[in-house]
Amino acid sequence: MELAELGRRIYATAYLTGEFVLRSGQTTSHYFDKYRFEADPVLLDEVAAAMVPLVPAGTEVLAGLEMGGIPVVTALSRHTGLPCAFVRKQAKPYGTARLAEGAETSGRRVTIVEDVITTGGQVVLSTTDLRALGATITDALCVINRNPTTPAPLIEAGLTLHSLLTPADLQPPAV
């Protein structure tokens, strides 16, 4: 599917207006409800297919961040054949007590997968945690970067951001 058409479909499915507080603490009058496009199996599959060329060469594991990155990383894994890990905001104190479930990340080249990025705060936190556990991480991949460029915290963390869509790509469907 053409990227412009994909942007229009996501806009039609997920764009909301009102007053919304983002994870970063910022307030906005427009919002992309990621769960609306992630819950549509056909649209999510098309998003994942479009993301495949953005996966950096040499990636050994795709790591999806809790919670919105999980459906995206699962769909992307199906398209790339790469194993995936599901990264919690913090390790649970029971069961395996692991920060990342699924594929092993220690000693492997990992690409972080997120749905929507504003400041990149959670990507930086999760990257720091996974690096401390032995993962090599230089890249992050997202469906929507709410910015026209890479947020400074990602650059400062030594990450290259690969965005499928930016605000310029998210337009209302033609009438």
- Binding residue numbers: 23, 88-89, 92, 114-122, 146
SS3 100: strand
Largest CA distance in the chain: 52
Identity (one letter) of the amino acid at 31?
Y
Residues making up the binding site for orotate: 118, 146
Residues belonging to the binding site for 5-phospho-alpha-D-ribose 1-diphosphate are: 23, 88-89, 92, 114-122
| Composition of the chain by helix, strand, coil, percent to 5 | 35, 30, 35
**Coil vs helix vs strand at 151:** coil
Q: Which structure tokens are listed for 90?
A: 């913090």
How far apart, in Å, are the Cα atoms of 91 and each of 3, 23, 112, 130, 173? 36, 20, 17, 11, 41
